[in-house]
Structure 1
Amino acid sequence: MTVDARDPRAVGPRIRMILPTLTPLEARVARMLLDWKTLDDRTTLKEVAARAGVSDPMVVKICKKLGFEGFRDLRVALVEYNGLPTSDLTAEVSRDDSPAAIVEKVFRTAIRALEETLAILDRDAFVRAVDLLHRARIRDFYGVGGSAQIARDVAHKFLRIGIRANVHDDAHMMLMSASLLGPDDVVVAFSHSGRSTTVLDAVQAARRRGARVIAVTNYPNSPLVDLADAVLLSTALGSPLTGENAAARIAQLNILDAVFVALAQRDYDTAERNLAETMSSVRDKRR
């Protein structure tokens, strides 16, 4: 999985991706830096160390762990990131917010998730995923909870253009499905955390049968990513009320919308014909 380090929108996601690999102290300092909206090009290393309650060398070490050359490199990146129009789009919902304010905050959080997911999306992995799905004999989608709902939405879109996919959200059904797959088949595994044991067990079983795997997740350092041939990564800021899942779900649906369009483009005439047929088949069910 690659992230375009030159895109300022990728700075926040890039740091958040690495947080789970840090020690608790390092993660605390990294979060402080990420949340420091008034940090500017005059902020010194000593100020950061004093505010975090750690030594200067510790701050430099953390900057390097986050993938930057040092404190100055990280400072420049964060100043650019905080200066983006999207940096003000996320605000925490409070118990005193009006309905209008809640709508504004929820929508803006989703917009930011889309912008940042677009910045980190690995274009090569996207093409690999489209290629695998296009050539597949069987397409099985695995997911539980909210991830299963994303899988169903994607399968519905695919069916509209004549691409059939099976959605499994039960542990036994996933394992049964995986036991019958082969090298010409593809599993798309949906897991926000990338750590769902139900999904991981089924993916491992599918891999043993030679099936290829596409992972749709929010965490690049998760076990699911290690099992995947292509990773479609989303990102979203956490929230005490809605968590990351709500905004990440919107980002993941958009990624798969792009996959849907790319697949339709591979055989546009057939996709257009199938779309007309499937739309016609349900027209009489509308009043």
Structure 2
Amino acid sequence: MVNPIDDASAIGPRLRDMVSVLTPLEAKLVNAVLSSGFDEHVALKDIAGLCEMSEAMVVKTAKKLGFAGFRELRSKAAEYNRLPITEMHQELSPTDTAREIVTKVFRTSAQALEETLAILDMDAFVRAADLLAKAQQRDFYGFGGSAQIARDAVHKFLRIGVRATVYDDPHMMLMSASLLGEKDVVLAISHSGQTQNLIEAVKAAQANDVPVIAITNYSESPLAGLADTVLCSTARGSPLTGENAAARVAQLNILDALFVVVAQRDYALAELQLSRTMMAVAHKRK
């Protein structure tokens, strides 16, 4: 459950994070209070009518979201909506010019980065870095766009001599999981956290006492519920790009930060390995 929080920039991400476990009407309320036109002057009856809910249901949903009632939800949401960072996100339109599209896409990604930083669990981040640094074998699981994020991370880690392997096939994931042990680690990436084949592979790894790090957009997702360590991204979507376009940028940055922290654990060795791997491919450049 979402608790009232001091950092206003985390209010929107926390509410959006809960959408995956809300009913369609409850999700409609969250979207309504996070819209640009919502402020502390919106009446309970008006928001209830807009969301096709009874006033009592609005109050009940506000409490489900972790607030004392609608007034506190309205106050916190209005505070979030006044932040400069929220103005970065603008809906894409089929009639936008190329310049407008570039501006909107860049600003949406910038907002995703700022808000992901605001909600990032630093204790979980440090645990994830420890697991990656100490593991004998590091297997990264992901499908589609998530697999590309994993490949980017594996490339960076290889540059400093930290070997990892990407699996994006369900059979290969299960084979990988069957061979791992408690001294290894699985890093599973899924925007929704609901990909069944990924969840099956994670369960197979945990059956062998393998610690699992999850990177996802939803802390209440099935994947997050299974993982030992969860790192959440957040992003606002649009009809044209969806949520995961901006979320990918945030997830790449989470992994970049993990890479740097792991490298710092033995900075001298990381520098040496980086020099060796750079020299190995230097002759491929003109």
Normalization by structure 1: what TM-score? 0.95
Question: What secondary structure, in the 3-state scheme, does the structure 1 residue paired with 2:283 have?
Answer: helix
Which runs of structure 2 are paired with 1:40-189 in the superposition (5 Å)?
40-189=39-188
Change in 2 beyond 3 A, CA 1:74/1:4: closer
CA distance in 1, matches of 2:44, 2:83: 23
RMSD over aligned Cα, in angstroms?
Answer: 1.6
Q: How much does 1:50 deviate?
A: 3.8
Is residue 22 of structure 1 aligned with residue 34 of structure 2? no
SS in 2 for 1:164: coil
Structure 1 stretches of 4+ with a deviation exceeding 6 A read 1-4
Distance 2:48 2:194 in 1: 34
1:248: how far off?
0.5
Three-state SS of the structure 2 residue aligned to 1:141 is: strand
Q: In structure 2, how many angstroms separate the alpha carbons of the residues matched to 1:175 and 1:219?
A: 24
2:181, 2:209 within 8 Å by CA — same for their partners in 1?
A: yes
Amino acid in the other structure paired with 1:279 = M
CA spacing shift, 1:64–1:251, aligned 2, 3 Å: same
Residue 199 (str. 1) matches residue 198 (str. 2): yes
Deviation at 1:174, TM superposition (A): 0.9
Structure 1 pair 40/240, CA: closer, same or farther in 2 (3 Å)?
Answer: closer
Provide the residue aligned with 2:8 in structure 1: 8
Contact residue 4 and residue 120 of structure 1 kept, 8 A = no
Q: Tell me the SS of whatever aligns to 2:113.
A: helix
Which 5+ residue runs of structure 2 have no aligned equivalent? none
Partner Cα separation in structure 1 for residue 97 and residue 49 of structure 2: 38
Q: Are the equivalent residues in 1 in contact too, given 2:2–2:66 (CA < 8 A)?
A: no
User: Is 1:33 matched with 2:33?
Assistant: yes
C-alpha distance in structure 2 between counterparts of 1:116 and 1:49, whole Å: 28
Tell me the amino acid that sits aligned with residue 90 of structure 2: A
- Provide closer, same or farther for how the CA distance between residues 50 and 114 of structure 1 changes in structure 2, counting only shifts above 3 A: same
Which sits farther off after the overlay, 112-121 or 46-55? 46-55
Q: How many residues align?
A: 286
Using a 3 Å threshold, how does the CA distance of structure 1 residues 26 and 234 change in structure 2: closer, same or farther?
A: same
Per-residue deviation, 1:203: 0.9
Q: Is the 8 A contact 1:139 1:186 kept in 2?
A: yes
Q: Cα distance, 1:281 vs. partner?
A: 1.0
Give the conservation status (yes or no) of the 8 Å contact 1:3–1:121. no
Contact 1:30/1:62, CA 8 A, preserved across alignment: no
After superposition, the Cα gap between the structure-2 partners of 1:275 and 1:77, relative to the gap in structure 1 and judged at 3 Å, is same
Letter in 1 for 2:11: V
Residue type of the partner of 1:81? Y
CA distance in 2, matches of 1:247, 1:240: 13
* Alignment partners' CA distance in 2, 1:93 and 1:23: 26
Structure 1 residues 126 and 242: CA distance shift in structure 2, 3 A:
same
Give the TM-score, by structure 2 length: 0.95
For 2:97 and 2:74, the matched residues in 1 are separated by 36
Indicate the larger mover: 149-158 or 197-206. 197-206
8 Å CA contact 1:4–1:119 kept in 2: the answer is no
